[in-house]
Amino acid sequence: MEGQLGIIGLGLSAIGPGVGVGLIFAAYVAGVARQPEAQSRLQAIAILGFALCEQFFIISLALAFVLR
In sequence order, the 6+-apart residues with CB closer than 8 A to the CB of 15 are: none
Domain of residue 55 covers 1-67
Q: Is the pLDDT score of 36 beyond 70?
A: yes
Tell me which long-range contacts 17-26 makes (C-beta under 8 A, separation of at least 24).
Answer: 17/53, 17/54, 17/56, 17/57, 20/49, 20/53, 21/50, 21/53, 21/54, 24/49, 24/50, 24/53, 25/50
If pLDDT is split at 50, 70 and 90, which confidence band does 67 have?
confident
What CATH number corresponds to the domain at position 3? 1.20.20.10
Q: Is the pTM of this model over 0.85?
A: no
pLDDT value of residue 66: 81
Q: How many distinct structural domains can be found in the chain? A: 1
- Percent of the residues in the chain that have a pLDDT greater than 90, as a whole number: 50
